[in-house]
Structure 1
Amino acid sequence: MDQLFFGGWNNLLRTLIVGVLAYVVLVVFLRLSGKRTLSKMNAFDLVVTVALGSTLATVLLNKDVALAEGALAFALLIGLQFIVTWSSVRVRWVRALATGEPQMLLLRGKILSAALQHARVTEDEVRAAVRTAGLHDLEAAEAVVLETDGLFSVMQRNTGIISSSSLMGVKTADK
């Protein structure tokens, strides 16, 4: 019963020392891996982040896992993420696999119902995105795009010449 609430001073000291060292190792590895590792997260980045957190917890709390093993696990996860992100910048199918594609949800004021179903987004969420962008009417929106990081981008409709170069590569309902 004593172990349930207090495992001894040695266990606390180990957790303290390994926790500080594992944290420092993780921060150093993340800094060395570049800004991409710490950028806005898409689904792939979220998985890597959760795996890093799980590894940190395991190193902290499992006496059978040495700090060197945890550091190797950190390096492996960050290294694999670096390889995938490096490849995704150079190879389109890797990019599509790792990050997905942005999805057009509204075009020229019209909600694309098939796209909403495919993206599992409601009309209310699109309307909220339009309101958040400060637009009073769906017709005032040229486009609403669900980005690969899960955020909505809203482009305001202009009365003049419209250039949609920022919409290149956005998946539409018919693609």
Structure 2
Amino acid sequence: MDWTGMFFQGWQGIVRTLVVGALAYITLVLFLRFSGKRTLAKLNAFDLVVTIALGSTLSAILLQESIALAEGAVALGLLILLQLLVAWLSVRSRPFARLVRSEPTMLARSGAWCEEAMHRERITREEAISAIRQSGGSDVADAEFLILESDGSISVGLRHQVSR
């Protein structure tokens, strides 16, 4: 068994990775700059998928010699263009927005749990109470509302200022 090929296959691959990697990175930064802040916003699961796809595509461009820089740049551009199209359609069509984006969900109201919503969203009481503690409360009784936002974060509105 030849162990050397596992650790070093030649300078050509390393030089290709350096050159194509730098150019692909610059291309991605320029595309993201052109497309605006919304492309990498932490807003919902769809945005997360696009962000992961961009990273995966960049990785493929870097490591797979069968993918030329031009092909990779087109793939990155396509993902960003599709993200912009989805954002554009979401702003103009409420039904389309509901299709690709989840709505916020009330988890607790006026100090009481919304059990069905918590079960449907797979949020445990421990996770919810952790969010309440991070906001300065200690228990659900301290919360006027608890909302699971579209990006997966939990917003907390305390009933009154809790003193420590």
Alignment TM-score, normalising by the size of structure 2: 0.92
Instruction: Compute the displacement of 1:46 (Å).
Output: 1.1
Residue 125 of structure 1 corresponds to 127
Match of 1:44 in 2: 46
Flag structure 1 segments of 5+ consecutive residues without an equivalent: 160-175
Equivalent position SS for 2:155? strand
Counterparts of 2:130 and 2:84 in 1: how far apart (Å)? 35
1:62/1:136 Cα in 2 relative to 1: closer, same or farther (>3 Å)?
closer
CA positional deviation for 1:136 = 3.3
1:141 is aligned to 143
Aligned to 1:94: 96
Matches within 5 A, 1:1-175: 1=2, 2-157=4-159
Q: What percent identity do the matched residue pairs reach?
A: 51
CA distance in 1, matches of 2:112, 2:62: 52
d(CA) in 1 for partners of 2:44, 2:9 = 39
Alpha-carbon distance between aligned partners in 2 of 1:99 and 1:110, rounded to the nearest angstrom: 27
**3-state SS of the aligned residue for 1:143?**
strand
Aligned residue for 1:142, secondary structure, equals strand
State the aligned residue count: 159
1:158 Cα deviation from its structure 2 partner: 5.2
Alignment RMSD, CA only? Answer: 1.4
Q: Distance in 1 between matches of 2:28 and 2:43?
A: 18
CA contact (8 A) 2:54 2:76 kept: yes
Gapped regions of structure 2 (runs ≥ 5): none
- TM-score after normalising by structure 1: 0.86
Structure 1 stretches of 4+ with a deviation exceeding 6 A read none
